[in-house]
C-alpha cells in the first residue's frame, strides 16, 4: 500500500514522496503566498515568524512547511 500525505492548503491526499507539500491545484496559491513572504523579507529586516505571519497574512503552518523544506535559504 502506498504511503500518503496531505496537501498543506486543501488537505487532499498526495503521494508521500511529494516534495512540495501541496497538490497541483494549490501550487499557484502556494507560490503566491511564498512570494508575498519573500518580498516582506527582502528589506533586510529580521522578523519573528509570528510577526512575519501577521504582517503578510500567511498562516504559520505555511512558514513552518517552507522552513522544513529549506526554502528560506
Residue-range definition of the domain harbouring residue 30? 24-73
pLDDT at 1 over 70: no
Task: Please check whether residue 61 lies inside any domain of the structure.
Answer: yes
Which pTM does this prediction carry?
0.82
Domain membership flag for residue 8? no
Pairs from 15-22 (Cβ < 8 Å, separation ≥ 24): 19/69, 20/69, 21/65, 21/69
Q: Does residue 5 lie in a domain region?
A: no
Whose CA is closest to 64, among 5, 3, 8, 4?
A: 8
Provide the number of structural domains found in the chain: 1
Q: Provide Rg for the chain, Cα atoms.
A: 13
> How many whole angstroms separate alpha carbon 26 and alpha carbon 20?
10
- pLDDT (tens digit, 9 = 90+) per residue, 2-51? 789 999 999 999 998 888 889 999 999 999 999 999 888 876 677 788 99
Amino acid at each position: 500500500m502506498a504511503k500518503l500525505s496531505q496537501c498543506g492548503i486543501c488537505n487532499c491526499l498526495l503521494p508521500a514522496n511529494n516534495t512540495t507539500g501541496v497538490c497541483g491545484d494549490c501550487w499557484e496559491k502556494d507560490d503566491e503566498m511564498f512570494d508575498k513572504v519573500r518580498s516582506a523579507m527582502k528589506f533586510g529586516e529580521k522578523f519573528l515568524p509570528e510577526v512575519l505571519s501577521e504582517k503578510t497574512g500567511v498562516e504559520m503552518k505555511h512558514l513552518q512547511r517552507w522552513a522544513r523544506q529549506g526554502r528560506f535559504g
